[in-house]
């Protein structure tokens, strides 16, 4: 019997030592798993009922994906099935369900979540409860006291501390002034530069020497950029002589966002209108770009000592690029009496760059609105009647960008004025020039104006119907963390996309990049310490595509270097994207964050309005 047994053993060993099967390669992204496609389909079609069914699937992977998908829907009708999911055996499902509930919970749902939070034994889920409940209270403007925000700040970490700091700086000025000692202590003791940068914004309305010392110290050149800009913004409120001198020095900083913040603070503080000679600021221009120079020259309009010199330079200096020329037009309109509406009108209705035409329109519109409020010999009705031809021509121009800008300008007009400036026949003429999706922002603004004119209730903006399906073959091949190189005139930025959390947005960005869409596009918007934005087909922020994307909300927050999609409301995203300078918790849950900067944040800080994406390419 030994020989057969030994032979059997040998055969078994030989079979066991045969060539091993190679492990399956990792999936490019989680949507390459066919089991998850029903989740994505339901998310894209905003199908709450289908997602509720998927929350009962036998696979915890599918249940967790479905729970997270509800964060993109933000449908209050889903509260019931999400509350039931809080009893799920999977931690991931409970965390995602809590996260999604934070965006839609009402008072009774918040109370129920608080009860369940007390029973939760998993620390990860318990932290998710605290985060969701705080976010919900903040979004619904339920935070009315400083103490809860300070408490949350002291007991949280990461983005949650940023959220608490953001809640503090948004409290009513009277409340911050009442509890100024607590605010000052929080700023003094804070060690995280990003959190401190947010907290110092709360000092804008708090007077006193201690506040001044804190802000001036935070704005020095050896401090982080985000902290410096926030301090400058706060210093722009009632600046004294010491503050004025510091801000004037910072105008000549090497970082465009710092220069912009310093100029904004000087303008908001009315420094140039107080007399004195400041022309030397414009001459000490080691770092100045043409746009900054023209902004400063425009501010000299408020200074009698420098006004004539500013006009002379603005008339003779040739602007470099459309965005600098747009600033020159604004500056001339404030300083040169000869630069009147006839000159501006020719620019508005020319074939020049949209940013230039937009600047000329803005000046004419502001003059027109101002003239309607000035006491004159004629009646108010006659003043409105005199102003109406300007608005009628703009609305009838057939230019979606001008129509959108005009609608924005008239949002503060009264119904009686709108009946003359924006009568139904003019409204109809404007609408004929607009595309139902590409010009959605203009259509929404026209709807609001018409409702106000007619005394009707302003309709809640409705998301456009689903119109841009995801190509399943292309999505399944797209790599999670796919990288792209943005080559600008000031250096390179490398970003990567989050396909797992934002599949539709990541795929569209990839398609636009590979088609060469972004090559040559400019950055048209810069808000210091907030965002740098580009990708507009018009170049002035009013352009879009003849299709829209669904807003995709993942669990990853907006931190420094996050890449998001601009929108005119939920489910209206297309081609414009932005990069954040610093953590921006108020964008969480509202905007699609589909990627992040991997390298080149120093280049992001160097970029100014008008800088160009020479090319954007996929890195293989």
Q: Is the pLDDT of residue 319 over 80?
A: no
pLDDT (average), residues 103-125: 97
SS3 219: coil
Residue numbers of the domain that contains 93: 30-139
Q: What letter would DSSP give residue 588?
A: T
Report residue 57 as tokens.
Answer: 């699937």
pLDDT (average), residues 405-420: 96
How far apart, in whole angstroms, are the C-alpha atoms of residue 118 and residue 126?
A: 8
* Per-residue model confidence (pLDDT) at position 338: 82
- Is residue 308 included in any domain, yes or no? no
Burial of 419 (0-12, 13-18, 19+ CB in 10 A): middle
Residue 202 falls in which region: left (phi positive, over 0), alpha (psi -120 to 50) or beta: alpha
Report residue 355 as tokens.
Answer: 């940013």
- Is residue 562 included in any domain, yes or no? yes
Q: Which CATH number covers residue 591? A: 2.40.100.10
* Per-residue model confidence (pLDDT) at position 11: 35
More confident of the two residues 214 and 285: 214
For tokens 């399943």, what's the residue? 472
* Per-residue model confidence (pLDDT) at position 14: 37
How far apart, in whole angstroms, are the C-alpha atoms of residue 291 and residue 180?
A: 38
pLDDT (average), residues 575-586: 97
On whether both 483 and 566 belong to a single domain, the answer is: yes
Q: How confident is the model at residue 10 (pLDDT cuts 50, 70, 90)?
A: very low
Of the residues 421, 442, 462, which one is the last residue of a structural domain? 462
The predicted model scores a pTM of 0.94
Q: Where are the alpha helices (DSSP H) in 300-379?
A: 307-316, 322-335, 341-348, 354-373
Burial of 114 (0-12, 13-18, 19+ CB in 10 A): exposed
Q: Is the pLDDT of residue 516 over 70?
A: yes
Distance set, CA 352 to CA 55, 436, 519 (Å): 54, 25, 20
SS3 526: strand
On whether both 477 and 444 belong to a single domain, the answer is: no
- Is residue 222 included in any domain, yes or no? no
* Per-residue model confidence (pLDDT) at position 2: 42
On whether both 479 and 511 belong to a single domain, the answer is: yes
How far apart, in whole angstroms, are the C-alpha atoms of residue 110 and residue 65?
A: 23
- Is residue 227 included in any domain, yes or no? no
* Per-residue model confidence (pLDDT) at position 20: 64
On whether both 361 and 436 belong to a single domain, the answer is: yes
On whether both 490 and 587 belong to a single domain, the answer is: yes
Q: How confident is the model at residue 480 (pLDDT cuts 50, 70, 90)?
A: very high
On whether both 451 and 513 belong to a single domain, the answer is: no
pLDDT (average), residues 578-604: 98
- Is residue 545 included in any domain, yes or no? yes
Mean pLDDT score across all residues of the chain = 92
CA 304 to chain centroid: 38
Q: What angle do CA 575, 579, 581 make, to 5 degrees?
A: 160
Least confident of 30-44, 302-316, 384-398, 489-503: 302-316
More confident of the two residues 508 and 305: 508
* Per-residue model confidence (pLDDT) at position 19: 59
On whether both 485 and 436 belong to a single domain, the answer is: no
How far apart, in whole angstroms, are the C-alpha atoms of residue 475 and residue 508?
A: 10
H or E element, residue 232: helix 225-235
Q: Which CATH number covers residue 393? A: 1.25.40
* Per-residue model confidence (pLDDT) at position 137: 95
pLDDT (average), residues 193-218: 94
Least confident of 305-309, 382-386, 414-418: 305-309
pLDDT (average), residues 502-512: 98
* Per-residue model confidence (pLDDT) at position 377: 72
User: Long-range contacts made by residues 241-247, C-beta under 8 angstroms, separation at least 24?
Assistant: 242/212, 242/216, 243/212, 243/215, 243/216, 243/269, 244/269, 244/271, 246/216, 246/219, 247/271
Of the residues 139, 158, 177, which one is the last residue of a structural domain? 139
Report residue 154 as tokens.
Answer: 């002291």
Of 418, 356, 362, the closest CA to residue 387 belongs to 418
* Per-residue model confidence (pLDDT) at position 257: 95
How far apart, in whole angstroms, are the C-alpha atoms of residue 200 and residue 169?
A: 8
Report residue 522 as tokens.
Answer: 């400019």
Q: Is the pLDDT of residue 90 over 80?
A: yes
User: Long-range contacts made by residues 184-188, C-beta under 8 angstroms, separation at least 24?
Assistant: 184/210, 184/211, 184/214, 186/150, 186/153, 187/214, 188/214
Provide CB contacts within 8 A for 440, sequence distance 6+: 464, 544, 548, 568, 569, 572
How far apart, in whole angstroms, are the C-alpha atoms of residue 410 and residue 414?
A: 9
Q: Which CATH number covers residue 100? A: 1.25.10.10
On whether both 482 and 418 belong to a single domain, the answer is: no
Of 554, 560, 563, the closest CA to residue 595 belongs to 563
Distance set, CA 582 to CA 160, 224, 386 (Å): 14, 11, 46
On whether both 399 and 495 belong to a single domain, the answer is: no
Q: Is the pLDDT of residue 9 over 70?
A: no
Of the residues 396, 427, 462, which one is the last residue of a structural domain? 462
Q: Is the pLDDT of residue 509 over 70?
A: yes
- Is residue 279 included in any domain, yes or no? no
- Is residue 318 included in any domain, yes or no? no
Distance set, CA 529 to CA 171, 172, 233, 337, 353 (Å): 20, 22, 10, 35, 27
SS3 144: coil
Q: Is the pLDDT of residue 442 over 50?
A: yes
Q: Is the pLDDT of residue 6 over 50?
A: no
The total of structural domains in the chain comes to 3
Query: In percent, how much of the chain has pLDDT > 70?
Result: 96
* Per-residue model confidence (pLDDT) at position 316: 86
Q: What sign has the CA pseudo-torsion 110, 115, 117, 120?
A: negative
How far apart, in whole angstroms, are the C-alpha atoms of residue 524 and residue 327?
A: 13
On whether both 491 and 601 belong to a single domain, the answer is: yes
Provide CB contacts within 8 A for 219, sequence distance 6+: 227, 228, 231, 232, 235, 246, 250
How far apart, in whole angstroms, are the C-alpha atoms of residue 86 and residue 171?
A: 32
The bridge status of strand 531-534 relative to strand 577-580 is antiparallel
Provide CB contacts within 8 A for 133, sequence distance 6+: 102, 105, 110, 113, 114, 117
Report residue 153 as tokens.
Answer: 């700040």
On whether both 438 and 543 belong to a single domain, the answer is: no
* Terminal C-alpha separation, the chain: 62
How far apart, in whole angstroms, are the C-alpha atoms of residue 594 and residue 183?
A: 34
CB 140 within 8 A of CB 132: no
How far apart, in whole angstroms, are the C-alpha atoms of residue 249 and residue 149?
A: 35
pLDDT (average), residues 388-399: 97
Provide CB contacts within 8 A for 131, sequence distance 6+: 99, 102, 156, 160, 163
* Per-residue model confidence (pLDDT) at position 25: 82
How far apart, in whole angstroms, are the C-alpha atoms of residue 203 and residue 211?
A: 7
- As a residue count, the chain comes to 620
- Is residue 442 included in any domain, yes or no? yes
pLDDT (average), residues 256-273: 91
CB 12 within 8 A of CB 39: no
How far apart, in whole angstroms, are the C-alpha atoms of residue 405 and residue 369?
A: 14
Least confident of 237-251, 353-367, 412-426: 237-251
pLDDT (average), residues 407-425: 97
On whether both 447 and 488 belong to a single domain, the answer is: no
Helices (H) and strands (E) in the chain, counts: 31, 8
Task: State pLDDT tens for residues 561-573.
Answer: 999 999 999 999 9
How far apart, in whole angstroms, are the C-alpha atoms of residue 534 and residue 516?
A: 15
Q: Is the pLDDT of residue 77 over 60?
A: yes
């Amino acid at each position: 019997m030994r020989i057969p047994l030994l032979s059997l053993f040998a055969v078994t060993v030989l079979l066991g030592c045969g060539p091993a099967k190679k492990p399956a390669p990792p999936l490019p992204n989680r949507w390459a798993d066919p089991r998850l496609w029903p989740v994505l389909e339901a998310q894209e079609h905003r199908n709450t009922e289908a997602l509720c069914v998927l929350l009962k699937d036998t696979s915890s992977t599918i249940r967790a994906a479905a729970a997270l998908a509800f964060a993109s829907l933000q449908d209050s009708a889903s509260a019931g099935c999400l509350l039931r999911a809080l009893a799920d055996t999977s931690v991931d499902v409970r965390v995602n369900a809590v996260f999604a509930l934070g965006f839609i919970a009402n008072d009774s749902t918040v109370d129920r979540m608080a009860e369940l939070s007390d029973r939760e034994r998993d620390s990860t889920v318990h932290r998710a409860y605290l985060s969701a409940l705080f976010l919900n209270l903040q979004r619904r403007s339920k935070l009315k006291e400083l103490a809860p925000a300070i408490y949350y700040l002291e007991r949280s970490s990461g983005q949650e501390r940023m959220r608490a700091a953001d809640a503090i700086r948004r409290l009513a000025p009277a409340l911050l002034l009442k509890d100024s000692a607590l605010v000052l202590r929080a700023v003094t003791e804070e060690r995280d530069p990003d959190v401190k940068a947010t907290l110092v914004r709360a000092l804008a309305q708090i007077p006193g020497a201690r506040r001044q010392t804190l802000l001036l110290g935070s704005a020095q050149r050896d401090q982080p950029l985000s902290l410096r800009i926030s301090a400058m913004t706060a210093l722009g409120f009632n600046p004294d002589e010491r503050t004025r001198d510091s801000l004037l020095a910072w105008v000549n900083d090497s970082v465009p966002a710092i220069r912009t913040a310093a100029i904004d603070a000087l303008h908001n503080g009315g420094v140039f209108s107080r007399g004195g000679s400041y022309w030397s600021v414009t001459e000490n221009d080691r770092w100045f770009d043409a746009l900054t120079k023209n902004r400063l020259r425009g501010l000299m309009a408020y200074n009698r000592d420098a006004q004539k010199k500013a006009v002379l330079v603005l008339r003779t200096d040739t602007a470099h690029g459309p965005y600098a020329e747009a600033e020159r037009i604004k500056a001339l309109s404030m300083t040169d009496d000869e630069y009147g509406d006839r000159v501006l009108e020719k620019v508005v209705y020319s074939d020049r760059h949209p940013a230039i035409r937009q600047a000329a329109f803005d000046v004419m519109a502001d003059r027109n609105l101002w003239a309607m409020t000035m006491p004159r010999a004629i009646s108010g009705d006659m003043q409105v009647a005199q102003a109406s031809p300007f608005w009628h021509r703009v609305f009838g121009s057939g230019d979606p960008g001008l129509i959108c800008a005009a609608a924005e300008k008239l949002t503060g007009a009264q119904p009686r004025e709108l009946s003359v400036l924006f009568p139904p026949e003019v409204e109809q003429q404007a609408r004929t020039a607009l595309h139902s999706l590409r010009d959605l922002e203009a259509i929404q603004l026209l709807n609001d104006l018409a409702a106000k004119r007619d005394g009707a209730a302003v309709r809640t903006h409705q998301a456009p119907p689903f119109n841009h399906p995801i190509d399943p073959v292309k999505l399944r091949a797209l790599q999670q963390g796919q990288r792209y190189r943005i080559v600008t005139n000031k250096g390179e930025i490398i970003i990567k996309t989050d396909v797992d959390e934002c599949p539709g947005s990541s795929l569209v960005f990839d398609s636009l990049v590979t088609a060469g869409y972004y090559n040559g596009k400019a950055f048209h918007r810069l808000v210091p310490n907030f965002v740098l934005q580009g990708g507009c087909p018009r170049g002035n922020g009013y352009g879009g595509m003849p299709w829209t994307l669904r807003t995709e909300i993942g669990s990853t927050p907006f931190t420094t270097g996050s890449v998001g999609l601009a929108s005119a409301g939920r489910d209206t995203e297309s081609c414009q994207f932005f990069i954040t300078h610093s953590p921006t918790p108020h964008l969480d849950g509202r905007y699609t964050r589909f990627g992040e900067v991997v390298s080149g944040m120093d280049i992001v800080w160097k970029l100014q309005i008008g800088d160009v994406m020479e090319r954007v390419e996929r890195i293989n």
